[in-house]
Amino acid sequence: MADVLGYFLTWTTYGTWLPGDARGWIDEHRVHGDVVEPPNPALEAQARELMKEPPAILDPPSRTIAEEAMRAACEEFGWTIRAMEVRSNHVHVVVTASDSSPGKVMGVMKARATKALNLHPASGARERWWTKDGSKRLLTSPAALTAAIRYVENQDQRRPKDS
């Protein structure tokens, strides 16, 4: 396997992209987790009924709080953020963390952002800010690393930050 130059991590906020979603979704129980499943309105309705809290939507101050907490965590662990975009309903991060797994990096970033958001009076405390897991892509070439960075950096040109 080629050396890993970085990770392209993506996760959504709680309740904003449910199993069965019309945009397509990933079945976490499949052997090949990258297979996008077709819409399933009945499954989406069932998932919505099981939610413990309303969907988590990050307003501009909350996005700033989350981003600052994640940047501080990466600095503490010695991980290098190549690009980051915190949106109203999802996060994209390109990070180099050669001493840690992508799951550890994502877990630490989510935990630190959760703690910071719950401590800030304007955000309001929640049990769940994020979905259970997320996408963890290994970037094994300079071209892949550059493409992921460009994708994240160009988010604002594709759609408003509140989407």
Whether the Cβ atoms of residue 56 and residue 15 lie closer than 8 Å to each other: yes
Q: Does position 161 have pLDDT exceeding 60, yes or no?
A: no
- The pLDDT, as a whole number, for residue 12 is 94
Calculate ∠ Cα 45-50-54, nearest 5°. 90
- Same domain? 81 vs 115: yes
Q: How many domains does the chain have?
A: 2
How do residues 26-81 score in pLDDT, each as one tens digit?
Answer: 766 655 556 567 788 898 899 899 999 999 999 999 999 999 999 999 999 999 99
- Same domain? 48 vs 106: no
- Return mean pLDDT, the chain: 89
- Same domain? 91 vs 148: yes
CATH number of the domain encompassing residue 72: 3.30.70.1290
Give the domain extent around 148: 6-16+56-156
- The pLDDT, as a whole number, for residue 75 is 98
- Same domain? 113 vs 44: no
Kindly state whether residue 100 falls inside one of the protein's structural domains: yes
156 confidence band (pLDDT: 50, 70, 90): low
Higher pLDDT, 157 or 145: 145
- Same domain? 44 vs 60: no
